[in-house]
Homo-oligomer: A and B are copies of this chain.
Amino acid sequence: MREDALLEWLRSRSPLLGDDAAKIRLAGDFACTVDTQEEGTHFRPGTGPAVLARRLLAVNLSDLAASGARPALAFLALAAPPNFGHRAFFTALRAAARRHGLVLAGGDLGRSDRVRAALFLVGRRPAGARWLSRGKGRAGDGLWVGGPLGLSAAGRLSLARPLGGATVHAARRAHLEPKPQLELGLWLGRQPRAAAIDVSDGLALDLHRLCRRSRVGARLDGEALPRPRGFAGLCSRLGVDPLELQLGGGEDYVLLFALPPSAEPPRRFGCTRVGVLTGGRRVLLRSGNASRPLPAAGWDHFGSASGAS
């Protein structure tokens, strides 16, 4: 499909989308974020274009969730081989965008030997809300996660194996099409104070990032980390340690957040309290009665790191 013909097709479906720069009137406070998905790095070759579109959007929306922003505008830079399923991609992207109140307002199409998509999102701060950031945590705050951890990583590992069953299916879905926690982010933005980050590179690494920006330490309770049903069994089939996968697997796209000690998110969000922010700067993992330093590392580094400690 030639680029001009594809653009005509897109323009007939997206009023703002044109060859010219998108012209937009804006008034208010906005959060802007950009994130990239690349074939071979972020998703396996052969991933369907519709799945890829939804994943690209979800991963980027998760950044807006961690800001407490309401999705507004999207701009896409897509490079793909000529035989890529552009129509399936854009049909899925527009449908998913619409579900989140997001308008695809502009973009750039190019050719490449691999699929690469950079998505730029603009979100709006709701009236009366505050921005969330990594830097707003204080010693004594409760530390929370917005959902289960490790399932996405287990799903990623399972893709290369001939496994089946409901847990495998759920894990693969968690990996391929994560659910950005936008409503939770909006709720956090209405609280007097909240620090938040979305868990993309793994709980351990992202907790270190939150602590560094907030200039605090943390004590994480390894046994409190929420595990979905069947997770331990799946890890056993995959030959990986469940806790290590939860700490370092990444791509969970749930929110990791800190709230003042007395605050608690509504039960409908399914959040779990997993620790506390502390004075000093040490980030500790409590497991049973023992505490040890939690390395700022992803899952692929955990084996050697825990072996050396």
Contacts and interface: CB of A to CB of B under 8 A. Distances in A.
Interface stretch (A100-108, A158-166, A220-228, A240-248): A100-108
Nearest to A33: B21
B30 A27 contact: no
Interface in A205-222: 209, 213
Interface string A77-90: 10100000000000
A128 interface: no
A209 to B, nearest CB: 6
The binding surface of chain A is classed by DSSP as strand
Contact of A213 (B19, B63, B131): B19
A75 B32 contact: yes
A123 interface: yes
A29 interface: yes
Given A36-B77, A41-B110, A79-B36, A21 B31 contact: yes
Interface in A104-148: 105-108, 110-112, 116, 118, 120, 123, 125, 131-135
A108 B36 contact: yes
B41 A108 contact: no
Contacts of A36: 77, 79, 108, 110, 118
Contacts of A22: 31-33
B29 A25 contact: yes
Q: How large is the interface on A (under 10, 10 to 19, 20 to 34, 35 or more residues)?
A: 35 or more
Contacts of A10: none
A8 to B, nearest CB: 9
A35 B105 contact: no
A30 B24 contact: yes
Contacts of A96: none
A38 interface: yes
Contacts of A34: 75-77, 106-108, 118, 120
Contacts of A288: none
Contacts of A203: none
A64 B106 CA distance: 13
Given A77-B35, A118-B108, A209 B29 contact: no
Given A75-B34, A77-B36, A77-B118, A67 B23 contact: yes
Contacts of A67: 20-21, 23
15 contacts: A4-B209, A19-B197, A20-B66, A20-B67, A21-B32, A23-B30, A23-B31, A25-B28, A27-B28, A34-B108, A36-B77, A36-B108, A36-B110, A77-B77, A108-B118
Interface of A: 4, 18-36, 38, 41, 63-64, 66-67, 69, 73, 75-77, 79, 105-108, 110-112, 116, 118, 120, 123, 125, 131-135, 197, 209, 213
Closest 7 CB pairs of A and B: A77-B118, A21-B33, A118-B118, A21-B31, A120-B120, A21-B67, A26-B26
